[in-house]
């Protein structure tokens, strides 16, 4: 019989330091949450203080260097490595997937496991993917970041595959796994799919309720139980019981993770037209919404106390550590702002027609293009734009709105799926109510404009726009 034995061994393990966790947390925090993080740091670190409104900032990075550093051992992050270099370690600065070493992959795993403390649907999904193969984790993050606030995945597998640069089959495999996660119904394509996923969890995936959802959802919504009973050839009482079962399901699985409706949206970036004559041409300027954030500095008295090298060594060690932490926090905050501004500038330069004319002029754009232009990894872009908003001349938009695949026009130009949606909405609004356009007629009308779109794509976009099928729009 085999016995038990203890074996000693040595193994290397990559650990994400608390400081780097804090840095990544600042990167992915929207401005409202960032304000709370700054307030928390001000409360916990006595050497850090808020600059008064009337105080003039000194020339140069005085608060960073303060002349001769009173603590010569505190080089940058404690080991002579700049914050940007540390980000390069944890956020690979090349968007080419497939050239990562084993060490890079290990670092990325720890990156994916790090998250902000605020519970979100995205982080909840990521937590459940802890045992997935390394190559699937980037897809999990992409899919989790594409879920809307209700928990639905409105983006098609082909669009996700195009954004990630992987085969569509790989995306579909990961999507199917996520559809088995909690909360039940997460990752569903639409309402019927969401409710069917929940019925399957209850062992009712092939019952009467499931049949009604698959084939008679519109009649169910209008409480036409007698019609359903007649078409399915089942007693009316059975249909009523199935309807009661369906009413116990959750149509919005993301509801427990949604932010309070009373919390207003604060934009991280603000886009405004250039003043006349500035830069010599028309265009747009983008700036950070720094009005929501206090200006930080290190208390001068504490720095002088440390420079004085008093007799209390314990106090000196404490001050050195706090000043080092304050500097790292300020650099992390600055790096976050610079990264977000660089991404925003790329969006504005590539989507300038949108800011002039609206959704109909939105161009196809994927995160990999921005990542290449800014010089960061695509996961950096994903984290930087997640949950953040941009105030524009066309209104307030989530930054992820500007990333959209597209279609090839007959003249060789590309148009985004938002442009196609805007065209569908325009056609439906202008149709005759007694003779509404069918999906096939919309396909033909778009083809006349030089845009070839499949009928099933039209049906999907119509559902996303909340537009009923033609036979239900008639005389509405």
**For the segment 335-394, what is each residue's pLDDT rounded down to a tens digit?**
899 999 999 999 998 888 888 888 777 788 888 888 888 888 888 888 888 889 999 988
- Whether 197 and 185 have beta carbons less than 8 Å apart is answered as yes
d(CA 121, CA 188): 14
For residue 44, the model assigns a pLDDT of 86
Residue-averaged pLDDT of the chain = 78
For residue 117, the model assigns a pLDDT of 47
**pLDDT over 80 (residue 17):** no
Q: Which tokens in the block code for residue 115?
A: 């998250």
Residue 80 pLDDT level (bands cut at 50, 70, 90): very low
d(CA 161, CA 366): 11
Residue 233 pLDDT level (bands cut at 50, 70, 90): very high
Structure confidence by residue, pLDDT tens digits, 279-289 = 545 788 999 88
Supply the pTM of this predicted model. Answer: 0.50
- Whether 344 and 270 have beta carbons less than 8 Å apart is answered as no
State how far the alpha carbon of 302 is from the alpha carbons of 73, 306, 332, in Å.
17, 6, 21
Beta bridge partners of 287: 270
d(CA 67, CA 307): 11
d(CA 191, CA 152): 8
- Whether 396 and 355 have beta carbons less than 8 Å apart is answered as no
Domain 406-473 in CATH 1.10.10.60? yes
Task: For residues 177-199, give the mean pLDDT.
Answer: 93
- Of the candidates 11, 75, 51, 107, the one whose C-alpha atom is nearest the C-alpha of residue 379 is 107
d(CA 272, CA 293): 20
For 50, list phi and psi in degrees, rounded to 5.
-90, 135
- Whether 159 and 139 have beta carbons less than 8 Å apart is answered as no
Least confident of 111-115, 243-247, 306-310, 420-424: 111-115
- Whether 460 and 156 have beta carbons less than 8 Å apart is answered as yes
For residue 103, the model assigns a pLDDT of 56
- Whether 78 and 69 have beta carbons less than 8 Å apart is answered as no
Residue 67 pLDDT level (bands cut at 50, 70, 90): very low
For residue 278, the model assigns a pLDDT of 53
For residue 411, the model assigns a pLDDT of 55
Residue 56 pLDDT level (bands cut at 50, 70, 90): very low
For residue 235, the model assigns a pLDDT of 93
- 259 φ/ψ sector (left φ>0, alpha ψ -120 to 50, else beta): beta
Residue 459 pLDDT level (bands cut at 50, 70, 90): confident
**pLDDT over 80 (residue 66):** no
Domain with CATH 1.10.10.60 in the chain: 406-473
- 309 φ/ψ sector (left φ>0, alpha ψ -120 to 50, else beta): left
- Whether 240 and 225 have beta carbons less than 8 Å apart is answered as yes
- Whether 170 and 235 have beta carbons less than 8 Å apart is answered as no
**pLDDT over 60 (residue 445):** yes
Structure confidence by residue, pLDDT tens digits, 100-119 = 455 555 555 555 444 444 56
For residue 407, the model assigns a pLDDT of 61
């Amino acid at each position: 019989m085999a016995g038990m034995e203890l074996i000693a061994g040595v193994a290397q393990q990559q650990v994400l330091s608390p400081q780097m966790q804090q840095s990544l947390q600042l990167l992915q925090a929207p401005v409202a949450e960032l304000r709370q993080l700054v307030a928390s740091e001000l409360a916990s670190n006595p050497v850090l203080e808020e600059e008064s409104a009337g105080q003039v900032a000194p020339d140069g990075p005085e608060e960073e260097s303060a002349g001769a550093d009173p603590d010569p051992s505190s080089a940058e992050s404690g080991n002579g490595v700049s914050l940007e270099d540390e980000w390069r370690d944890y956020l690979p600065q090349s968007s080419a997937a497939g050239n990562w070493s084993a060490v890079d992959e290990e670092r990325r795993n720890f990156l994916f496991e790090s998250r902000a403390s605020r519970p979100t649907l995205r982080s909840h999904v990521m937590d459940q993917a802890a045992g997935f193969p390394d190559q699937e984790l980037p897809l999990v993050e992409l899919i989790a970041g594409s879920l809307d606030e209700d928990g639905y995945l409105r983006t098609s597998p082909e669009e996700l595959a195009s954004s990630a640069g992987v085969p569509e089959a790989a995306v579909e495999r990961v999507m199917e796994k996520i559809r088995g996660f909690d909360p039940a119904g997460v990752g569903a394509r639409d309402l019927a799919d969401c409710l069917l996923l929940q019925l399957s969890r209850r062992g009712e995936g092939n019952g009467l309720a499931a049949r009604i959802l698959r084939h008679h959802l519109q009649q169910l919504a209008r409480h036409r139980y007698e019609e359903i009973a007649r078409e399915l050839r089942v007693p009316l009482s059975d249909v009523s019981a199935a309807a009661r079962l369906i009413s116990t399901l959750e149509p919005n699985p993301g509801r427990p993770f949604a932010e309070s409706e009373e919390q207003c949206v604060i934009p991280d970036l603000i886009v405004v037209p250039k003043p006349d004559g500035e830069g010599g041409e028309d265009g747009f300027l983008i700036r950070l919404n720094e009005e929501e954030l206090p200006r930080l500095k290190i208390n001068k008295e504490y720095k002088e106390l440390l420079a004085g090298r008093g007799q209390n060594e314990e106090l000196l060690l404490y001050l050195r550590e706090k000043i080092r932490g304050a500097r790292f926090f300020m650099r992390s905050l600055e790096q976050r702002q610079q990264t977000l501004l660089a991404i925003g500038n790329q969006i504005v330069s590539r989507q300038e027609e949108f800011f002039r004319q609206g959704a109909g002029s939105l161009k196809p754009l994927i995160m990999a293009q921005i990542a290449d232009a800014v010089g960061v990894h695509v996961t950096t872009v994903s984290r930087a734009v997640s949950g953040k908003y941009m105030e524009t001349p066309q209104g307030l938009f989530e930054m992820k709105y500007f990333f959209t695949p597209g279609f090839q026009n007959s003249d060789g130009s590309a148009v985004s799926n938002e442009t196609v949606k805007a065209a569908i909405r325009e056609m439906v609004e202008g149709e005759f109510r007694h003779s509404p356009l069918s999906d096939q007629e919309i396909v033909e009308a778009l083809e006349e404009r030089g845009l070839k779109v499949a009928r099933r794509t039209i049906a999907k976009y119509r559902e996303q726009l909340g537009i009923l099928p033609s036979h239900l729009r008639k005389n509405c």
